[in-house]
């Protein structure tokens, strides 16, 4: 089978199955599984594809037909220009979350420009994409990354190794519970979190790729979607410096609720919008 025939077959199968980005997904799988760039494709499109590539590609297409996420098939995804291993134990890094990372990096330049060894806590780290990106892109920071899931911590540690990030360490904990063992724990300059924030009743309305395959514990924010914001705001006080910053990723309709939770303990509350002009980040400075 020729390359042109193979990718066409993949596109048709995915389109008939109702996969939204059928054409794009078929191309990405071809590039990754057959190890061919788009430029090379136009040179080799009428060449025969090695048999092992044909079988691997069609197997991947068949898996995608079930709405199994493209990123999990590939086993990795890009975030902030870095590569991250992903599997069913962690959420897939999303471009919206880059808004939170960029906000923190800008904050470091503006508010901590004369400080070294800035201590950051990445709560609910998942794949580690937030904490690892901050540690990789700013050598002034020391990051602690926390997650309840042992399996997620395994993935995050691998991602730190893969990106050659050493200024980060990981703790398995239900939010701050494990911190009670560290009596000498210094407070953090910045606490950042992308916690589970989908209302429980809304999860079944999500795309099949999300509701059927991404870890529910990383999605489900309880009845109102706010349970983890409430817990983090209530529990983080001993672990954040006066004048330190708390920054959350939020759902598009949660800005006012999250600001209200933070208002008694935080000043300078700011909402940052994403590229679609939807509320995406809330930041506050501890009083």
pLDDT in tens, 31-61: 999 999 999 999 999 999 999 999 999 999 9
Output the pTM of the full model: 0.95
Residue-wise over 132-166: b if at least 16 C-beta within 10 A, else e? Answer: bbbbbbbeebbbbbbbebeebbbbbbebbeebebe
CA angle 246, 211, 157 (to 5 degrees): 50
Tokens standing for residue 14: 């995915």
Strands 76-79 and 82-85: antiparallel
**Rounded to an integer, what distance in angstroms lies between the CA atom of residue 189 and that of residue 157?**
23
Instruction: Give residue 186's pLDDT.
Output: 84
Residue boundaries of the structural domains of the chain: 3-66, 89-286
pLDDT tens per residue across span 150-197: 999 999 999 999 999 999 999 999 999 998 765 557 899 999 999 999
Separation in Å, CA 25 to CA 92, 97, 102, 210: 16, 22, 28, 16
pLDDT string in tens for the chain (287-residue length): 999 999 999 999 999 999 989 999 999 999 999 999 999 999 999 999 999 999 999 999 999 999 999 999 999 999 999 999 999 999 999 999 999 999 999 999 999 999 999 999 999 999 999 999 999 999 999 999 999 999 999 999 999 999 999 999 999 999 999 987 655 578 999 999 999 999 999 999 999 999 999 999 999 999 999 999 999 999 999 999 999 999 999 999 999 999 999 999 999 999 999 999 999 999 999 99
**pLDDT value for 183:** 56
How far apart are the C-alpha atoms of 219 and 246, rounded to whole Å?
Answer: 20
Strands (E), the chain: 76-79, 82-85, 118-123, 141-147, 168-172, 188-193, 240-249, 266-273, 279-286
- Assign domain 89-286 to its CATH superfamily: Vaccinia Virus protein VP39 (3.40.50.150)
Rounded distance, CA 179 to CA 171, Å?
A: 9
């Amino acid at each position: 089978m020729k390359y042109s025939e193979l990718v066409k077959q993949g596109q048709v199968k995915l389109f008939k199955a109702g996969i939204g980005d059928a054409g794009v997904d078929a191309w990405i799988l071809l590039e990754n599984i057959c190890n061919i760039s788009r430029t090379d494709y136009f040179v080799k499109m009428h060449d025969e594809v090695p048999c092992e590539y044909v079988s691997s590609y069609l197997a991947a297409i068949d898996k995608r037909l079930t709405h199994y996420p493209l990123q999990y098939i590939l086993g990795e995804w890009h975030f902030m220009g870095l590569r991250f291993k992903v599997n069913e134990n962690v959420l897939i890094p999303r471009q919206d979350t880059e808004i939170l990372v960029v906000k923190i990096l800008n904050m470091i330049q503006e508010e901590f420009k004369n400080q070294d060894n800035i201590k950051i806590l990445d709560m609910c780290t998942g794949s580690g994409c937030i904490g690892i990106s901050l540690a990789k892109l700013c050598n002034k920071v020391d990051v602690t990354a926390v997650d309840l899931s042992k399996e997620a911590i395994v993935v995050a540690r691998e991602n730190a190794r893969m990106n050659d990030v050493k200024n980060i360490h990981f703790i398995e904990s239900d939010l701050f519970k494990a911190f009670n063992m560290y009596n000498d724990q210094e407070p953090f300059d910045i606490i950042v979190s992308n916690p589970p924030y989908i209302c429980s009743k809304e999860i079944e309305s999500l795309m099949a790729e999300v509701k059927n395959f991404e870890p529910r514990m990383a999605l489900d924010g309880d009845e109102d979607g706010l349970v983890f914001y409430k817990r983090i705001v209530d529990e983080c006080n001993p672990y954040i410096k006066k004048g330190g910053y708390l920054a959350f990723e939020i759902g598009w309709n949660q800005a006012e609720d999250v600001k209200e939770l933070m208002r008694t303990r935080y000043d300078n509350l700011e909402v940052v919008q994403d590229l679609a002009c939807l509320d995406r980040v809330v930041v506050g400075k501890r009083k």
